[in-house]
Amino acid sequence: MTEIEQRLAELRELGLYRRLRMISGPQGPRVVLDGKPVLLLCSNNYLGLADHPRVRQAAAGAAMRWGVGAGASRLVSGSMTVHRRLEEALADFKGTESALLFGSGYLANMGVIAALAPNGHVFSDQLNHASIVDGCRLAGAQTTVYRHADTEHLEWGLRQAAGAPALIVTDSVFSMDGDVAPLEEICELADRYDARVMVDEAHATGAIGPGGRGVVAEAGLQDEVDVIVGTLGKALGSYGAYVCCDETTTSFLLNTARTLIFSTAPPPPAVAGALAALELVREQPRRVERLAANATAMRDELIAQGLGTGPSCTQIVPLVVGDARTALRMCDAALARGVFAQAIRPPTVPDGTSRLRLAVMASHSKQELQTAARALAAAARDAGQTLEPPRQLERPARRPARVSELFDGEAIQRPARAA
């Protein structure tokens, strides 16, 4: 047995082995998975726009007009009209001076952090996405990972680094727990300690805030946040990413962000599809309202069935079971009942917190979600989970509470978890 074969065997033994599942057709509320029709509860196609006719037509038209690929980096072979149109629309949507497209959210976070913090100090939330973690590594900056949503710990770290250029980086909606960062407190600290703030709105754009403009807009912090990163591949149903900021920062990134300079530009069909999706979000704000209503309905029914939903206050709903093998058993039991809810295991989440991560879509019906909640409760029992008795509904607030215990230890000098 080779070393690679041994490592694969270990992953299987630990319940951490991964494999691809085959889906037929588009990412709608229902799909055919490995030949079986199921309700899809693990797609980030939050508004159901990935297969919307206008989005499809826009992508097809762009392929006929501009071709399938961009050919090279925009700095090498030139920028296409469709790229500029989407950047202008995104900047207007987010309320910033300008925007800049990247090939993916991973490339955007890595490139921006590395460009903005090569010799400074980065403060990163403990549960930030892996792309932020790797951006800190690429920057080579001193990195302090503060406890999740703990602004007292963050302030402690900022005091220790007083005098050094500082960048605070956080997700706005955290992808595995569905909770929201305390952006008001973070911006207050940034102002007090003269730090920049960078917010990743990947799971908030199109899903949270007025007209789907995100958590930053919901909190009225557009003038306080220096850089907003987001993706085109979730609520906007396409592929690629953007960075919204002032014109000076855009010019700086255009000249220093390696993941932009050395990557082929996003393909025209994906860009045109995202532009059409953004237009739909602006024209049809009820989609965002429907998503929020569906997320509430899903959490309520899960709680009624005896399943805890953690700190979620968004369309992302975690069902934490703990052991990785138990999560796999629950996933398989749910599939047998016609519900596809993916098991999420380490290193995506910390040891002992394996879960089914549910992603609600605006295109689900409430009846589908209620039926799915009952199927998930039955799957949990099949997997050996003890369900809680039904209790009075307790909906978490949008903002996490402050951590009251002051941190008096040493700064954590380790990378955050992957996601």
Tally of CB atoms within 10 A around 343: 24
Beta bridge partners of 343: 356
Under DSSP, is residue 371 helix (H, G, I), strand (E, B) or coil?
helix
Question: 345 and 357 in contact (C-beta within 8 Å)?
Answer: no
Annotated catalytic residue within 104, 124, 172, 175:
175
Q: Which residue from 295, 419, 402, 404 is spatially nearest to 359, judged by alpha carbons?
A: 295
Q: Which residue from 275, 207, 210 is spatially nearest to 52, judged by alpha carbons?
A: 275
Catalytic status, residue 36: no
Catalytic status, residue 366: no
Tally of CB atoms within 10 A around 35: 7
Q: Side chain identity at 382, as an amino acid letter?
A: D
Annotated catalytic residue within 234, 312, 354, 363:
234
Tally of CB atoms within 10 A around 187: 21
* Cα 199-210-217 angle, rounded to 5 deg: 30
Question: 309 and 303 in contact (C-beta within 8 Å)?
Answer: yes
Unique residue bearing structure tokens 């392929």:
63
Concatenated DSSP letters for 294-305? Answer: HHHHHHHHHHHT
Unique residue bearing structure tokens 């609600």:
360
Unique residue bearing structure tokens 């050919």:
71
Catalytic status, residue 203: yes
Annotated catalytic residue within 203, 238, 263, 363:
203
Task: Give the residue numbers marked as catalytic.
Answer: 175, 203, 234
